[in-house]
Amino acid sequence: MAVAVKIYQRETKELALQSRTERGKGPVGRLRREQSMLPGVVYGHKQEPRNFKVLAHTLERTLADGGRNAIFVLNEEGDDKSERAVVREIQYHKVRGDIVHIDFLRIDADEEYTASVPLITVGVPTGVSIGGGALQHSLTAVDMHCVASQMPSQVEIDITYLEIGDSIHIGDLLESESRIVNDAEVTIVSVLSPRLTIDEEEEAAAAAAAEGEGEGEGEEGEEVEGVEGEGEPDAGGDAPADADS
């Protein structure tokens, strides 16, 4: 079964960088506190890595505005040349959760490469909303191979029509989007049957309640016997060896 696929193209965003001479954990760690800047590096394309720093609020605002999946045009002060890059990795503070470092990967707009692209589902399956089934997501991103300038920011599929027992596989998307390179047999989403009917759920709940009551009575009896046993030393028996500890 062919599935309609909606492709969202990547935005292009510009980012102003400054050359970074700070090295070492201490100096780099003080960048944000003293200069309100964040450290980063851009690498790839068989060129030397380039260390930079960027205004923290500018980077965070850009990333929040769809920059995670954008193509960046990186401009460094004092350099007329710009570089195109994509976000490769973002490191976050373990406690505060804010960004502490960012890596960019250089790209050539005409070069082909493979990247992981977020996969978004829209709609509630009929098998869930009407049939009472359960939706199971097995894949949240797909691998796509194409030229950098055409690499999508995300892929969207509508799952409203799915009934209980239906699934969507990678192969179902290939007719609409041949640039996806995952194995065709990989499952994306499935609508599972309800595990129990309402009557079965009620019966199971009643059985569990009855079993719980039976266990409770046995436990209470054991507790009564324990209390009587504990009272014997008070009637003249020896105190526990650690009573004074």
CATH of the domain at 96: 2.40.240.10
- Lowest mean pLDDT segment, chosen from 59-63, 163-167, 179-183, 215-219: 215-219
Mean pLDDT of 20-49: 88
In DSSP terms, 84 is beta-bridged to 73
102, 44, 107, 50: which is closest to 76 by C-alpha?
A: 50
Q: Where are the beta strands (DSSP E) in the chain?
A: 5-9, 12-19, 37-44, 47-55, 71-76, 82-92, 99-106, 112-122, 134-137, 141-147, 152-158, 167-169, 187-192
Mean pLDDT of 92-105: 91
Q: What is the pLDDT of residue 238?
A: 45
Q: What is the pLDDT of residue 184?
A: 96
pLDDT at 205 over 70: yes
pLDDT at 124 over 60: yes
Residue 143 confidence class, pLDDT cut points 50, 70, 90: very high
Mean pLDDT of 139-168: 94
Q: Do 93 and 119 fall into the same domain?
A: no
Residue 208, domain member (yes or no): no
Enumerate residues 6+ apart whose C-beta is below 8 A from 57. Answer: 36
Q: Do 90 and 62 fall into the same domain?
A: yes
Residue 176, domain member (yes or no): yes
Query: Residue 179 is part of a domain; what is its CATH number?
Result: 2.170.120.20
* pTM beyond 0.85, yes or no: no
pLDDT at 119 over 90: yes
Domain that holds residue 51: 10-107
Contact 20, 53 (CB under 8 A): yes
Residue 183, domain member (yes or no): yes
Q: What is the pLDDT of residue 237?
A: 43
Q: Do 125 and 159 fall into the same domain?
A: yes
Q: Do 78 and 164 fall into the same domain?
A: no
Residue 173 confidence class, pLDDT cut points 50, 70, 90: very high
Residue 95, domain member (yes or no): yes
Higher pLDDT, 32 or 219: 32
The number of distinct structural domains making up the chain is 2
**DSSP state string for 155-209:** EEEE-TTPPTT-EEEHHHHTTT-TTB-S-TT-EEEEEEPPSS-HHHHHHHHHHHH
Residue 206, domain member (yes or no): no
Mean pLDDT of 79-108: 90
- Neighbouring C-beta atoms of residue 123, cutoff 10 Å: 13
By percentage, how much of the chain surpasses pLDDT 90? Answer: 53
Residue 231 confidence class, pLDDT cut points 50, 70, 90: very low
